Amino acid sequence: MFPGIVDPHVHFALPVGDRTTSDDFAAGSRAALFGGVTTAIDFSTPSPAMSLSDSIRSRIHERRFSRIDMAIHGTICGWSDSMATDIEAAIADGVTSFKFFTTYEESGRRTTYGELEAAARCLADLGVIMTVHAEDSTVIQASTPEDDSFKRYESSRPEAAEAEAISRMAYIADSIDIGIYIVHLSSRLGYEAAAGSKLMLETCPHYLLLDRSRFDRPDGFRHALAPPLRSNESQSVLWDGLISGRIKTIGTDHCVFAPETYQAAGDHYRMTPYGLPGVETSLPLMVTHGVKTGRMSWSVLADRMSTGPAKVFGLWPEKGEIRVGAHADLVILDPTHQRSVDPVALHSRTDWNPYTGMTLFGWPEIVLLRGRIAIASGRCYLEPGAGCYLPRCITHDADRSL
């Protein structure tokens, strides 16, 4: 018996330009339940015409079709001191973590380092967490080749870009004493740039198990994501960090688009949508390659996938642990039972999975959400809307130095 997985990083019904992810809240949360994920945190999706607080309230409303319990991160593009009022309104709505980007200037999402420092001072005063997509825009611009074939994709967003942005954020975290959480850490250089800092780190199963050789395959265009997949050396470093506890959480960055969207882009990384499926396979992947290999114990895995993210984002003690007084979010699995990954048998709205054919242990057999049977005998028993919105108080994990 395992505590329900708390996924701190998902994208359901995410609009990106004129495209939207194929897993809406009903479909994405169904796939999540089959993977033992009972709680997830999605992101608000601001537009230039919408205030931060309005975008958060809109996202809270959109998640009403979720089958699992969900919280929301507020997404902030740029910065002005006037946003403090909006952040206070977001806190009143139960949102206590806010995401920034150090890249994507072309889409208006980038926040400069000077703006990030000003934002960090404001967020520190309010006692909330800053989460950061850390890739340096200047390094990326200097590294971008003329040829946008996927064979050159990893070099277009090099490890140095992640390391530079993380180094800058480490300075801000240490000088201002604010909790800064780096999402989807991908590389050795990025990990080393965080050494000795107060930064909190998240990585994803695909950075632990897939490498940049995927971009050389005929279906390389299906593996687009940012940051890109890295080397085997980076995988080893990330495993070490995860086992030691320096990397505190595992998120999936679940983000799936319709098959025709990838195919239309072809072998052009500037045209393709970014994202991989993840919520349904994250637990069996980590059971198979973490616990079954002897890399980590069951208790360590439970901490990285359940207790750790619940504590960081103010969801503990109700979420993330099997204990008296907690929500009865439980996963029952047979660690000896194995099954191959088959996209047809999975529940995301896609015809493809990067782990297709891989034999995995630890598939959930019974999942409970708040004591209700959610998954049993291969069936989902919860309807869209069964999940609750989780407003959070400012009670984040105090141990930010890890």
Pairing of strands 372-376, 338-340: unpaired
Among residues 357, 362, 331, the alpha carbon closest in space to that of 344 is found at 357
Segment of 146-160, 258-272, 294-308 carrying the highest mean pLDDT: 294-308
Q: Global pTM?
A: 0.96
In the predicted model, is pLDDT for residue 397 greater than 90? no
CA 294, 202, 313, 58 dihedral sign is: negative
Q: H helices within 93-227, ranges in order?
A: 113-126, 137-143, 153-156, 159-176, 188-193, 205-209
Mean pLDDT of 117-134: 97
- Domain residue spans in the chain? 2-380
Percent with pLDDT over 90 in the chain: 86
Segment of 46-55, 81-90, 238-247 carrying the highest mean pLDDT: 238-247
* CA dist list (Å): 350 to 121, 295, 363: 42, 31, 19
Mean pLDDT (the chain) is: 94
Write out the H or E segment, with its range, that includes residue 132: strand 129-133
> What does the pLDDT read at residue 400?
40
The domain made up of 2-380 has a fold known as TIM Barrel (3.20.20)
CA 52 from centroid of its chain's CA atoms? 20
Mean pLDDT of 321-341: 96
> What does the pLDDT look like over 236-287, one tens digit per residue?
999 999 999 999 999 999 999 988 888 888 888 888 889 999 999 999 999 9
CA 196 from centroid of its chain's CA atoms? 23
Concatenate the DSSP letters of all residues of 352-365 into one string.
Answer: --TTTT-EEE--EE
Cis bond before residue 227 (omega within 30° of 0): yes
Among residues 171, 225, 220, the alpha carbon closest in space to that of 199 is found at 171
